[in-house]
Amino acid sequence: MKIPARTRIKMCGLTREKDVEAGVEAGLDALGFIFYRKSPRNVDPDFVRSVVAKMPPFTDCVGVFVNRRREEVEEIVEYCGLSHAQLHGSEDPKYCERIERFVSPCRVVKAFRVSEESTREEFDPYAKVIHGYLLDTYVKGNAGGTGETFDWSIIKRLNLQRPMILAGGLDPGNIEEALKQVQPFGVDVNSGVEIEPGIKDHAKLFEFVSKVRASPQVKSS
């Protein structure tokens, strides 16, 4: 399937309704909510359910999970009405496939922490059971949301077979260069548009979105 050459934008780590409203106003394609108790951006399913119920059409809501029991992920996805599950732990292909097949409608995005040691063999087993890869920065002992970039040149040698979402330290200052080098299907921003963890800077958000929308896009992958 040919993918339209328009970079999708997701903002993650939402904890306040006013930031959700700003994301909708900015024209984001997706909003992310973290269900991970160790994260300073962890949210309660009741909050997310109430927010999703007010969401306008064509805006996706994504749940972020780290090594959570599959049954709990399924329950939260269905209770909140999420469209995607973004998995940041060691979830294997069978785990991902189970959510894709039996939680409707829900698509799985599998996150990988990228380093110089990353190889295509890590990604290939997931290609037929998920809808996309999210590439974050590898930091030992950290499941994601590091606020640090990685060497984007690594991506080319991975030769990924599913749509790719770029994450890891993106902000209004580096997003144009990231798009130029990587040409991803989508980008995921979090700490790069924050005042502090879970509190979004609306001016930075609108600047980030404006730069993505204005950037020349040759292709998406």
Q: Which residues are annotated as catalytic?
A: 12, 136
CB 164 within 8 A of CB 157: no
* Cβ-count burial 66-87 (b if 16+ within 10 Å, e if not): bebebeebbebbeebebbbbbb
Other Cβ atoms within 10 Å of 177 Cβ, number:
12
Contact 43, 33 (CB under 8 A): yes
Angstrom CA distances, 83 to 100, 155, 161, stand at 11, 26, 22
Cα 135 from Cα 146, distance rounded (Å): 12
Q: How far is it, in rounded angstroms, from Cα 200 to Cα 53?
A: 21
Closest CA to 209 of 186, 221, 197: 186
Cβ atoms within 10 A of the Cβ of 107, count? 17
